[in-house]
Amino acid sequence: MRLSSTDLLQRYQRWRGVAEPGFWIVLYLLQTSLNCWISWLDRVRTHVQTPLWEVAVWEWSSNLVLLALVPVVIFANQLRPLHLVFQRQNLRWHLAASVIYSLAHVLAMVALRKLAYWSCGSDYDFGDWWQELPYEYVKDVRTYFSILLFIGFYQLLLMRWQGEATLLGEPDQGPAVEPVAQPERFLVRKLGKDFLLPAAEIEWIQAWGNYVNLHVRGHDYPLRSTMAAIERRLDATCFVRVHRSYIVNLAFVKSIAPLESGDARAMLATGGEVPVSRRYRDALKKVAMA
């Protein structure tokens, strides 16, 4: 029997916790195996006498560490989402994170190689660190941002699959009408079906390029709007701007945890966390206590 798009989405959501890490594991296993084969053929073709086990150690040590670092890049993307990377501040942040990423990769890789060589009765020499580290960083920064790009594309694809939100009161044909000042519901079109999404169920809103994401029960629904525009449309006694890229529903805020940097994090009753910048922290406290 042919499955509908809705059935496929529901099945994928059940297996998502396995599919996502499984993708990275399979990707790196295939990449490592292919790299080993190509490196070995290159040495045979150029008559370079290198034992096969050394080639395998070089490739597997590097790629196993890169695989272990994938969750780190995913976490970095959560802190500074991809659509904000090319803003000056966030670009500097990700460049700094890529340096740490590269250092972690090189240190762990060299440690694994030394251990492997020692177990084979040999010794591994990484070479001149001041020359090798820049070389490794050029490769690692490319890998780091490639993973970020893939994560962003995957998230966008998943959001499109889950559905897109629109404001009620916008006609499909004819002249535009004056929008509702404070919409109580949003129209969510998902896989050819329309659903009404109560505004009160929105936990937080996050900027995403030309869209804002309405986060509801673990799902993100993109709405074509700016943060300033959606902020003006929502009930100010319920929804509060807490960050340049975030608006939170006060009904879900359980506590506010200050950070050493002067910023804070809003801890939600659903278990989620929303960043609160120092610029909006005092305003959030005033509204929450009102």
Q: Give the residue among 202, 287, 167 at the shortest CA–CA distance from 237.
A: 287
The answer on 136 and 230 residing in a single domain is no
Write the pLDDT tens digit of every residue in 154-210: 887 777 776 665 665 444 444 433 345 566 777 776 655 677 788 888 999 988 777
Query: Which tokens hold the place of 117?
Result: 């060589």
Residues 31 and 153 in one domain: yes
Domain co-membership, 204 together with 157: no
Mean pLDDT of 143-155: 91
Q: Are 13 and 141 in the same domain?
A: yes
Mean pLDDT of the chain: 82
In the sheet that holds 185-190, the strands lie side by side as 193-198, 185-190, 164-167, 219-224, 211-216, 204-208, 246-249, 239-243
Q: Which of 236, 290, 244, 239 is nearest to 263 (CA)?
A: 244
Instruction: With a cut of 90, say whether residue 30 has pLDDT above it.
Output: yes
Most confident of 14-28, 174-188, 274-288: 14-28
Among 11-15, 68-72, 262-266, the range of highest mean pLDDT: 68-72
Strand (E) positions, the chain?
164-167, 185-190, 193-198, 204-208, 211-216, 219-224, 239-243, 246-249, 253-258, 264-268, 273-276
**Domain-embedded: residue 137:** yes
Per-residue confidence at 220, pLDDT binned at 50, 70, 90? confident
Among 78, 15, 21, 70, which Cα is nearest to 220's? 78
Residue 168 included in any domain: no
Residue 9 neighbours by CB under 8 Å, 6+ apart: 161, 162, 191
> 3-state class of 255 per DSSP?
strand
Number of domains in the chain: 2
d(CA 275, CA 51): 52
Q: Residue 46: what pLDDT? A: 82
Min mean pLDDT across 66-75, 152-161, 225-234, 271-280 is at: 152-161
Residues 72-122 pLDDT 10s: 999 988 877 766 545 666 788 899 999 999 999 999 999 999 999 999 889
C-alpha separations of 60 from 70, 86, 102, 131 in Å? 15, 33, 16, 22
Please choose, from the candidates 162, 249, 239, the residue with its C-alpha nearest in 3D space to the C-alpha of residue 203: 249
Same domain? For 14 and 110 the reply is: yes
pLDDT, residue 190, reads: 63
Q: Is the pLDDT of residue 28 over 80?
A: yes
User: Quick one: 147 and 201 in the same domain?
Assistant: no
CATH number for the domain harbouring residue 204: 2.40.50.1020
Kindly tell me the burial class for residue 160, based on how many C-beta atoms sit within 10 Å of its own C-beta (0-12, 13-18, 19 or more). exposed
Residues 263-268: what's their mean pLDDT?
86
How high is the pLDDT of residue 163?
A: 63
- Residues 155, 71 share a domain: yes
Average pLDDT in the 254-281 region?
Answer: 84
User: Does 228 share its domain with 93?
Assistant: no
Say if 189 falls within a structural domain: no
User: What's the rounded mean pLDDT across residues 16-42?
Assistant: 91
Domain that holds residue 109: 5-162
Mean pLDDT of 240-257: 89
Three-class SS state of 2 = coil
DSSP 179: P
What was the pLDDT predicted at 98?
A: 96
Output the six-digit token pair for 278: 């120092």
- The conformation of residue 121, written as its DSSP 8-state character, comes to T
- pLDDT for the residue numbered 258: 82
Looking at residue 21, its pLDDT comes to 93
pLDDT of residue 177: 37
pLDDT at 193: 64
Look at residue 229 and tell me whether its pLDDT is greater than 50.
Answer: yes
